């Protein structure tokens, strides 16, 4: 533990950005898969439900929840 504490140093903004982009680059496909698992089912559900919302007002809360799940 002591050896790792000796290696601590303040990071500049460039170092922070570099590490952040390196993390995104090394885990890009994992992030794409997670996004697809969360985003695609919500959009499919929304596409199925939206045509029926005008005919069935009780579907409005479900449509709102699916819409909010897609919001960034």
Ranges of each domain in the chain: 2-70
Helix (H), strand (E), coil (C) string for the chain: CHHHHHCCCCCCHHHHHHHHHHHHHHCHHHHHHHHHHHHHHHHHHHHHHHHHHCCCHHHHHHHHHHHHHHCC
Evaluate if residue 33 carries a pLDDT over 70.
Answer: yes
Average pLDDT over residues 7-30: 90
Please state the rounded mean pLDDT for residues 41-48.
80
Q: Please provide the average confidence, as pLDDT, over all residues in the chain.
A: 81
The predicted model scores a pTM of 0.52
């Amino acid at each position: 533990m002591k050896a790792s504490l000796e290696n601590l140093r303040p990071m500049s903004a460039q170092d922070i950005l570099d590490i952040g982009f390196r993390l995104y680059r090394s885990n890009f496909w994992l992030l794409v898969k997670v996004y697809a698992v969360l985003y695609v089912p919500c959009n499919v559900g929304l596409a199925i439900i939206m045509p029926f919302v005008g005919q069935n007002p009780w579907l409005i809360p479900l449509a709102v929840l699916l819409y909010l799940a897609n919001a960034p």
